[in-house]
Amino acid sequence: MRALESISCDIKDCEFVSMLGPSGCGKSTALRIMAGLLTFEGDSVRVGDKDVTGPVDEAGIVFQTSNLLPWRDVTGNLRLGMEVGNHAGGNAEEQLPQMLRTLGLSDFAKAYPHELSGGMKQRVAIGQALMRKPRVLLMDEPFGALDALTRDHLNVELLRIWQAERKTVVLVTHSIAESIFLSDRVLVMSERPGRIIEDVLIDLPRPRDPSTTRQDPKFGAYVVQLSKIMGIV
């Protein structure tokens, strides 16, 4: 079973790109290929000037489930990514206080995952990926399992963190509004076997804010445009 057709795209440094598509279109597969978790047929996947052949130090990945270790508190989970693999993050202890502040979790440094809400766990997962100072942050429907309110809130948080950290972000989502609100570019994918059917530049001013960005007439126009591409309207 082929999950993906040939896919080709270039993502610029510090660009925020969403891959938008229906369930099962292979967007998660594409993300796993970028992370070096799956092998593929085709030319190459490159991060910076290196070919991806296995799990990449330059990539931080955030999954739909937060994947925190239940026996480690927030601090311990943030440290995990620097303990178990290669990374460019430097000293974990120096980064921790700032990272906890960035994530808004300073008061929860010693809390265990079962004491956190779903949104907080996902923030820890993002922090864990960021601690490694990756060039690229790969996110696989990171807010897919959260309720709508928490999701909106975390979208704003993610933009704030992104602006502070200046990372290249590739986000897999099936939410049109989320992809427009967050991204510089939206890659729309077809049904399985997935391929990129449209590359839409999102020309909305930054910093974005839920109260103004979504009022922008262009926001509504993008929703219509993307819905049409996806065949919803």
Partner 1 sequence: MAKRKSSPRNWLNRDLIDATVFFIILGLVWEFSVQLFAVKAYLLPALSDIFREAWASRALLLSESLVTLKEVVLGFSIAVISGIAIAAAIYFIPVAKRTIYPLMIALQSIPKIGLAPIIIVWFGYGLGSKVIMAFLFAFFPIIISTLGGLAATPKQLEEHFAALGASGWVTFWKLRVPFALPSFMDGCKVAMPLAVIGAIVGEFVGSNDGLGNLILLATGSSNTALTFAALLAVTVMSLLLFFILERLGKLVWWRAL
Residues that bind partner 1 (CB under 8 A): 35-37, 54-57, 59, 61, 63, 65, 67, 69-71, 80-81, 83-87, 110-115, 132
Closest distance between partner 1 and the C-beta of residue 81, in Å?
A: 5
Closest distance between partner 1 and the C-beta of residue 225, in Å?
A: 33
Closest distance between partner 1 and the C-beta of residue 205, in Å?
A: 34
Q: Report the residue number, 9 or 69, with the smaller CB distance to partner 1.
A: 69
Closest distance between partner 1 and the C-beta of residue 82, in Å?
A: 9
Locate 69 and state its tokens: 């270790």
CB-CB contact of 225 with 200 (8 Å): yes
Closest distance between partner 1 and the C-beta of residue 200, in Å?
A: 28
Q: Report the residue number, 7 or 80, with the smaller CB distance to partner 1.
A: 80
Cβ neighbours, 10 Å, residue 215: 10
Burial class of residue 156 in the structure, from the number of CB atoms within 10 Å of its CB (0-12 exposed, 13-18 middle, 19+ buried): middle
Cis geometry, peptide bond prior to residue 193 (ω within 30 degrees of 0): yes
CB-CB contact of 136 with 168 (8 Å): yes
Closest distance between partner 1 and the C-beta of residue 92, in Å?
A: 13
Q: Report the residue number, 37 or 156, with the smaller CB distance to partner 1.
A: 37
**Strand 16-20 relative to strand 185-189: parallel, antiparallel, unpaired?**
parallel
Q: Report the residue number, 50 or 228, with the smaller CB distance to partner 1.
A: 50
Q: Report the residue number, 71 or 217, with the smaller CB distance to partner 1.
A: 71
Angle between helix axes 148-165 and 92-103 (nearest 10 degrees) is 130
Q: Report the residue number, 6 or 53, with the smaller CB distance to partner 1.
A: 53
